[in-house]
Amino acid sequence: MADAPSGSSAPSAPSDFIRRIIADDLRTGKHDHILTRFPPEPNGYLHIGHAKSICLNFGSSLEVGGVCNLRFDDTNPEKEEQEYIDSITRDVRWLGFDWADRLFFASDYFEKVYECAEELIRKGLAYVDSLSAEEMREYRGTLTQPGRESPDRHRPVEENLRLFREMRAGVHPEGKYVLRAKIDMAAPNINLRDPVLYRVKFATHHHVGDAWCLYPMYDFTHPISDALEGITHSVCTLEFEDHRPLYDWVVDHLDLGCKPRQIEFSRLSLEYTVMSKRKLNLLVKEGLVSGWDDPRLPTLAGMRRRGYPPEAIREFCARIGVSKADNRVEVGQLESCVREALDASSPRAMAVLRPLKVVIETLPEGHLDRLTLGNHPKRPELGQRSVPLTRDLFIEADDFAEISPKGFKRLVPDGEVRLRGGYVIRCREVVKNEAGEVVELRCTHDPATLGADPVGRKVRGVIHWVSADRSLPASIRLYDRLFLRPDPEEEGQDFLTMLNPASLETVTGRVEPSLADAPPEARFQFERVGYFCVDQDSRPGALVFNRTVTLRDSWAGGN
C-alpha cells in the first residue's frame, strides 16, 4: 500500500468486528494464513463505497501478513465491458493497493463451475427446469407462503444431464431451460427455494469470447471461485446476508477442498450523492454529468479528477469504520479528510477567480518586482517560487466593497490592505462603467512595507493577487454537491429532480505564472480560495483547474 505523504498525520488504525474475527481465527489456529479477495463485477466504475470494501478486504489481510486477490466476477456478458475492467484495475492501484500476480476472472473457472453443476445433477441436487420466468416467480411463493415444486423437479438424472449438455452446446434457445438447485421450496429464506444456477445467453463475453453460451449465476459462481482460490474470509456487504445460506449450501455439497467463511458488513451511504451503479449509469448515459469521471460523482475516477488524494480516501474509510448498522455518512467527514491531506501536501499558489483590476499609480509603467515566496508554510523542502508584482494587478472582486459590511477586513475606499507577500496599498479612486459597476481600483503603495509592517497604523487584512500583465488565464471549474438534499433517494422522490443546478460553475480566472507547466492531477492550495487540481483537459496556454474542496465547509449549518 502507498505510504502516507510527508507531513501528514498517521492514518487511523482501524479496528472492527471483521478484523477481530480474523485475529481470533489466527489465534485459535483455525487458519495459519489469511487470504481475502476484492470481487467487483465489471459493469461500471468503482465508487467511494467500493473504496470502503477495497480498504477492508486488502487492509484486513495485509495487516496480518496475508494477501488479497483481485477477481472480476464476470458472469453477465451483456453488461460487462473491458473499459470497466481497465478502470477498476487503475482505481485499485491508485487507491494504494496491489494484487501482485493474483488477478483472476470468474470466467477462468467456467469449466470447473460447469463440472460442479454436473456433480450436483448426478447427486440429485440440481435439475433442468422449463418454467418461464413468470411461472417461476409464481411457483416461488411469498415471504408468508411456501413455494410449489416445478413439474420438472423430479426429472430423471440422465435426462437432466442430457438437457444440460444440450444447453451448453447451444441446442436450446434462451429462456427455454434453466438449471436450478434442488433445495427446499418451503424454505423461509426465498433464496433457498430452488434458485437458478445456469441460464442460456447467446452473448459474446469480454474475456472468453464465444466459447460459452451457458452462463452460471453469480450466487453459484462466487462460492466456487472463493473455494478454488482458497479464500479464508469472503467479506461482502449486507445485501448478501440472505444469500449466505445458499453460499454455504454450494460449498457444503461440492468437494472443493476449502470452505470460506462469508461475513457481511454495512454498505456506505454518503450524503448528497447516489451509489447505485444503475443510477450512476443513468446520469452518465443521459448526459447529466460529463462521464464516469465527472468530478461531481462519487466514483474513484471522479474523485481523482477532482483532486482527492488517495490517502484521504483511505483515511476516511478508516474513520467511518466497519459495522453491521446502516447509516448515512456526512459528506463533511470525507471533505475534512481531503482538507487535512491537502493542507499537508499541497504547494501554495495565488489565483484570482473573478478578477478586478488594480492599478498602483505610485509605481512606474513597466515596473517589475520579483517576489520570492515559499511553496508551503510548514514544509521548506517544497522550495520557493518567483512571483512577479507589476503596476497593474488583479484581485478578487469580492475583496473590495464600497460600503464595508460588518467584520469586512479587505479593501474599501481610502482603506489599506496588504498584498500577500507584497506591499501595503491604499484605495484612492473607484472607477465604474456606464452601468455603475466597479471595473478598476486606483491605488497607492507604501514602498517601506515590502516585507515589513507599516509604522504607526494597522492594516485591515491581507488579500491575494496576480499580475495583470504576467499572470495566465485559466478556466476554473467550481464543483459543488451534485444533489440538493442529503438523501436524494428519499422515499417517494425521483432522484433526478434533486439535482443541484449549481453543481458546476466555470469561471475564467487568472493564475500566477509558476503554474504554466503544472501537469494533470497536480494539486495546489490557491491561497484564501481553496484547493484545486490541474484537470486532464489542461494544456499549456489553455489551463484548466478543478476545485477540489473549499478551505472550509461552506455547507455547515445546513446551508
| Residues belonging to the active site | 41, 267, 277
What Rg, from alpha-carbon coordinates, does the chain have? 30
Dihedral-angle region of residue 230 (phi above 0 means left; psi in -120 to 50 means alpha; beta otherwise): left
What's the distance, CA 558 to chain centroid?
Answer: 24
Instruction: Quote the CA–CA distance of 362 and 272 in Å, as a whole number.
Output: 50
Q: Which helix (H) or strand (E) holds 233?
A: strand 233-237
Q: Do 329 and 269 meet the contact criterion of CB atoms below 8 Å apart?
A: yes
Q: How far is CA 437 from CA 122, 432, 463, 510, in A?
A: 85, 5, 21, 20
Count CB neighbours of 185 within 10 A. Answer: 18
Q: Which helix (H) or strand (E) holds 372?
A: strand 368-374
Query: 385 forms bridges with which residues in the sheet?
Result: 373
Dihedral-angle region of residue 541 (phi above 0 means left; psi in -120 to 50 means alpha; beta otherwise): left
Q: Do 18 and 26 meet the contact criterion of CB atoms below 8 Å apart?
A: no
Helix/strand/coil for 373: strand
Query: 545 forms bridges with which residues in the sheet?
Result: 476, 534
State how beta strands 269-270 and 328-329 pair: parallel
Interior angle at CA 209, CA 207 and CA 214, nearest 5: 100
Order of strands, sheet of 67-72, starting from the edge strand that comes earlier in the sequence: 35-38, 67-72, 103-105
Helix/strand/coil for 350: coil
Q: Do 304 and 94 meet the contact criterion of CB atoms below 8 Å apart?
A: yes
Q: Which residue in the block uniquely carries the three cell numbers 461482502?
A: 236
Instruction: Quote the CA–CA distance of 228 and 115 in Å, as a whole number.
Output: 13
Query: 248 forms bridges with which residues in the sheet?
Result: none
Residue 297, amino acid: L
Count CB neighbours of 173 within 10 A. Answer: 9
Residues 6+ apart with CB under 8 A from 278: none
Instruction: Quote the CA–CA distance of 554 and 440 in Å, as a whole number.
Output: 29
